[in-house]
Structure 1
Amino acid sequence: MIKRLVLSTMLLSAAVIGNVASAQPVAASDYTTTENKYVEIGGTRYAYRTIGDRGSKPPLVLFQHFTGTMDDWDQRTIEGLAKGRELVVFDNAGVGASGGQSPDNVAGMADTAARLIEALKLQQVDALGFSLGGSIVQQLLIEKPSLIRKAILVGAAPQGSAGFRRLPDVISTAIKTSGETGRPLRALLFFTDTEAGKAEADEYLKNINNHSVDPEAPVSEQTMGAQAKALVTWGSMPENTEQLSQIKQPVLIVNGSDDSIAPTLESVTLFQRIPNAQLSLYPDSGHGSLFQHETLFVSQVDMFLDGPK
């Protein structure tokens, strides 16, 4: 199938949003009051949440970013996506309300995620992987292709990513800037330094970590260290070009125009290597492009998941 390059413009945004609005989606619940559920796998208890109506569509499983818990998903994005389908949000091992210790490699995290999906008796799912979650979803697409129908990779990079190898330096620089300016670290890492970017960062920070039921604590030092090692290792491994070329599923790749963690050009590389891929690049946005352009992102995901195989 010929790849489609989707460039995000105001015209595209209006057209997409109009199409979705006419679909009369199912109303979503309030994510801030969504209770934790638990499943035990091999003696370890894992936490997850579901929101939205399953219907006849595969559920959309969300794979979180570095150090992120279920509470770190933007409420607006979750509720927007849940209007058209059921979402499964979960904590990997050692994260948030889940037990165990975080693996220090992407393969281990992917194995845990696969076992959780299977324990929930989900035959096939759609997957949305953000940042570190995008690496995990790539691993699943390669190792367990029958498990995923369609995938969305946001702020992601292929194995061998120079951007992920530089992650410690990027975070160190952001910590220094945060101390000098008083701006929150995540605002610096996820959003652009423009006036629009700063305003969207403020809105994003209002819509995370606001769970009134089963709120989660920040990740532990063990988890932070293990996940950092996993990302740096992913960036230091040989490129997975051949494996990506074998992926058969449709994949939507999304990134911002200036991603400091997973550089934008690496999303272009993913697009070039995955045969049935689409690429959408959002203007004036960084690593958190899905939150900075939340309405457009939800619209494109809906069109992608509900469109032809």
Structure 2
Amino acid sequence: MPDRIGRAGECCVRQADRPAVELLDEQFPTARWVGQRRGVPLVLLHRFRGTIDWWDPEFLDYLAAEHDVIVFNNVGIGYTTGEPRDSLEGFAEGAIEFIQARSCAGRPARMAAGRHRGPARGPAPPRAGEELEAIKHPVLHANGVHDVMIPAHASYVAVQHLDSATLILYSDAGHAFLFQHGKKFATEGTNFLAA
């Protein structure tokens, strides 16, 4: 199991024999690669305005046991340059720019958003449903039943618009289910990616 270094709130993670690597360039000066540089890396996307320091180091450790993991600050977030993106499309474009800028150390990257964030209030609006229906690859969608920001019902409605979706709801969790169930969710995510 990887060793964790640092204090609460820091994302300073290292494998026993390989420290996290800072991937620095002008546009994306802060990113971390956690793992032993094997296989296709898992690039994690954070919420809008979320920085790499918001990732739970223990959760990253769990994921890094099976996959190399890359976390980064999107365009205009944290210490990155540029204007923050104001749409899901813009946010995705920023992630693609990050991946293309470094080709993830010469390897193709697999992008996974550990959770699709649906609308904050009520079921998905019609346009969102149409956008979800356009997704044809498998999707893992997780939430806490007691999430007041993104109600569990919105998660249920969202997966109804997907051809191949797995929904995980944690009955004892709210918005921070990743902190409460980091190891369990990392296992679920690893199993999902292996399928």
TM-score between the two structures when normalised by the length of structure 1: 0.53
Deviation by residue 1:7-33 (Cα, 9 ceiling, x = unmatched): xxxxxxxxxxxxxxxxxxxx4353525
Q: Identity, % of aligned pairs?
A: 32
Deviation by residue 1:136-187 (Cα, 9 ceiling, x = unmatched): xxxxxxxxxxxxxxxx325x21xxx3529xxxxxxxxxxxxxxxxxxxxxxx
Match of 1:271 in 2: 159
- For the pair 1:51 / 2:34, whether they are aligned, the reply is yes
Q: 1:67 aligns with which of 45, 49, 55?
A: 49
Give the SS at the match of 1:102: coil
1:289 deviates by 1.0
- For the pair 1:126 / 2:107, whether they are aligned, the reply is no
Write the distance in 2 (CA, Å) between the matches of 1:243 and 1:60: 24
Look at both structures and tell me which one has the larger radius of gyration over its CA atoms.
Answer: 1
Give the SS at the match of 2:53: helix
Specify the code of the residue in structure 2 equivalent to 1:28: P
Q: 2:2 aligns with which of 28, 31, 43?
A: 28
- For the pair 1:153 / 2:115, whether they are aligned, the reply is yes
Write the distance in 2 (CA, Å) between the matches of 1:274 and 1:70: 29
> Where do 1:228-267 residues align within 5 Å?
239-267=127-155
Match of 1:108 in 2: 90
1:93 deviates by 1.6
Write the distance in 2 (CA, Å) between the matches of 1:265 and 1:258: 10
Match of 1:163 in 2: 121
Write the distance in 2 (CA, Å) between the matches of 1:162 and 1:279: 17
Name stretches of at least 5 consecutive residues in structure 1 with no aligned partner.
1-26, 129-151, 165-234
Match of 1:292 in 2: 180
1:72 deviates by 0.9
Deviation by residue 1:109-162 (Cα, 9 ceiling, x = unmatched): 21111111112214341312xxxxxxxxxxxxxxxxxxxxxxx325x21xxx35
Name stretches of at least 5 consecutive residues in structure 2 with no aligned partner.
5-10, 14-19
- For the pair 1:98 / 2:83, whether they are aligned, the reply is no
Larger RCO (alpha carbons 8 Å, 6+ apart): 1
Q: CA RMSD in A?
A: 2.2
Specify the code of the residue in structure 2 equivalent to 1:305: L
TM-score between the two structures when normalised by the length of structure 2: 0.81
Give the SS at the match of 1:239: helix
How many residue pairs are counted as aligned between the two chains? Answer: 179
Q: Rate the CA distance shift 1:101–1:126 in 2: closer, same or farther, 3 A.
A: closer
Query: In proportion to residue count, which structure has more helix?
Result: 1
1:265 deviates by 0.7
